[in-house]
A and B are shown apart, each in its own frame.
Chain A
């Protein structure tokens, strides 16, 4: 199984928070409204990887990548 890395383009993130709704166990907006990745590495094929992919998918400004 391979490890996937969630990459955040911090300057591009505007804090819409849709990723947090998709993957609340992996990331959250802090008190300042900045996104924090609580889990940055996920194993391919796991529920965590699917949640990460969903978070990447819903980011309206394409600030997240899964590589």
Chain B
């Protein structure tokens, strides 16, 4: 039995959260598994180790939670996020019943039209904050309408979603400050009823499914919670990253403009290049050996999605952003039984935004992006667009 290499890196230090990639490169060189005493975790750093772990829920269990503090893991008990088969199977089915691509097929036209109208309006104004005006506004509107949120709740969605992800981190000040706000979301979801959600919405459909016994009693509230907690924050990150990367690489935008069939691949490359989620956790259900080193049973594991996505053992020239690469097997949406449940909707939104940008914009002139450290989600806080060169 060989112990993994150790590093004094703190995955949740401000500078690492803001730009984790130099740290990821150093950890990857140490080994596929690196013990981080500062965070009491074993970090998975290389592509194959991460992909294998995501595919092996029996060893890398989610049942003891995916967060890095006991309070959040306790709060997640009973969700598909924090369970393993067989319990997970019914919870996941209830969550995806109205969220799978087959359920969303009718929405594409509406989402495309909204993205196009939004981008057209902004191109006409010429200067705006890309994060506020697109990355936050668009998923917020889509998810709110889909789930049927009305009135006051819409105003809370961004702050609630941010806090719900922040508390996945260890018990640092960011987590402590966010628990009360995440609690507001939790309480609201515990009390929400069918009539609080718009008629004909997916949210109301979930309550109707509960009424007719298609999903377990009491599961509607937690599902609404997951829509809100996962459906906004990470999509805001991904769409902000699309705009920032296409602005920073006008040659890559030009390739998409010339060949719109590159749109899905361009989104895959954005997700690969900048993973929206820095790290989520698992717990080893048994002792496991990876690349000749041993992780003990009952250990907390940190899955570094972005480190695997930049592993030169898997991707050639991994630090280059190239829309023609089409890395369909990137790790940013997870993989296997816990693969992102909202990825169908995320694709609809992201493809619509890339398509609208590619048709209407030749080049975006942007100022400096600012970032604020967040325990789980890596996203741009603001990105001023100074000038739009229209198509």
Chain A 1-48 residues near chain B, CB threshold 8 A: 11-12, 14-18, 22, 29, 32-34
CA distance A34 to B55 in the complex (A): 23
- A34:B333 contact, CB within 8 angstroms: no
Given A34-B102, A58-B329, is A16 in contact with B337 using a C-beta cutoff of 8 Å? Answer: no
CB-CB nearest 9 A-B residue pairs: A33-B102, A15-B102, A14-B100, A62-B336, A60-B339, A61-B339, A15-B101, A58-B328, A16-B101
Q: Which residue of A lies closest to B54 (CB)?
A: A62
Residues of B contacting A61 with CB < 8 Å?
335-337, 339
Q: Which residue of B lies closest to A12 (CB)?
A: B337
Q: Which residue of B lies closest to A34 (CB)?
A: B102
Is B93 in contact with chain A by the CB < 8 A criterion? yes
Residues of A contacting B103 with CB < 8 Å?
33
Distance between A40 CB and nearest chain B CB, rounded to angstroms: 21
- B328:A18 contact, CB within 8 angstroms: yes
Residues of A contacting B337 with CB < 8 Å?
12, 61-62
A interface footprint on B54-96 (CB within 8 Å = 1, 0 otherwise): 0100000000000000000000000000000000010001001
CA distance A17 to B344 in the complex (A): 10
Is A50 in contact with chain B by the CB < 8 A criterion? no
CA distance A17 to B93 in the complex (A): 17
Is B6 in contact with chain A by the CB < 8 A criterion? no
CA distance A12 to B333 in the complex (A): 16
Is B210 in contact with chain A by the CB < 8 A criterion? no
- A60:B343 contact, CB within 8 angstroms: yes
Taking a contact as CB atoms closer than 8 A, the residue among A15, A22, A58, A62 that contacts B100 in the complex is A15
- B96:A33 contact, CB within 8 angstroms: no
Is B154 in contact with chain A by the CB < 8 A criterion? no
- A33:B329 contact, CB within 8 angstroms: no
How many chain B residues touch A (CB < 8 A): the figure is 21
Residues of A contacting B341 with CB < 8 Å?
14
Residues of A contacting B336 with CB < 8 Å?
61-62
Given A14-B96, A16-B343, A57-B329, is A62 in contact with B102 using a C-beta cutoff of 8 Å? Answer: no
Is B340 in contact with chain A by the CB < 8 A criterion? yes
Given A14-B96, A16-B344, A18-B328, is A60 in contact with B102 using a C-beta cutoff of 8 Å? Answer: no
Q: Which residue of A lies closest to B347 (CB)?
A: A16
Residues of B contacting A14 with CB < 8 Å?
96, 100-102, 341, 344
Residues of B contacting A29 with CB < 8 Å?
102
- B105:A62 contact, CB within 8 angstroms: no
Q: Which residues of A contact B (CB under 8 A)?
A: 11-12, 14-18, 22, 29, 32-34, 57-58, 60-62
Q: Which residue of A lies closest to B85 (CB)?
A: A12
CA distance A18 to B265 in the complex (A): 12
Q: Which residue of A lies closest to B55 (CB)?
A: A62
Distance between A36 CB and nearest chain B CB, rounded to angstroms: 13
Residues of A contacting B105 with CB < 8 Å?
33
Q: Which residue of B lies closest to A14 (CB)?
A: B100
Q: Which residue of A lies closest to B343 (CB)?
A: A60
Residues of A contacting B55 with CB < 8 Å?
62
Q: Can you report 25 residue pairs joining A to B where beta carbons are below 8 Å apart?
A: A11-B89, A14-B100, A14-B101, A14-B102, A14-B344, A15-B101, A15-B102, A16-B100, A16-B101, A16-B343, A18-B328, A22-B328, A32-B102, A33-B101, A33-B105, A34-B102, A57-B329, A60-B339, A60-B340, A60-B343, A61-B336, A61-B339, A62-B55, A62-B335, A62-B336
Given A14-B344, A18-B328, is A60 in contact with B335 using a C-beta cutoff of 8 Å? Answer: yes
Distance between B114 CB and nearest chain A CB, rounded to angstroms: 22
Residues of B contacting A33 with CB < 8 Å?
100-103, 105
- A11:B328 contact, CB within 8 angstroms: no
Residues of B contacting A12 with CB < 8 Å?
337
Among the interface residues B339, B340, B343, which one has the most CB atoms of the partner chain A within 10 A? B339
Chain B 311-361 residues near chain A, CB threshold 8 A: 328-329, 333-337, 339-341, 343-344
CA distance A62 to B103 in the complex (A): 19
CA distance A34 to B337 in the complex (A): 18
Distance between B184 CB and nearest chain A CB, rounded to angstroms: 31
Distance between A49 CB and nearest chain B CB, rounded to angstroms: 18
Q: Which residue of A lies closest to B96 (CB)?
A: A14
- B100:A11 contact, CB within 8 angstroms: no
Distance between A56 CB and nearest chain B CB, rounded to angstroms: 11
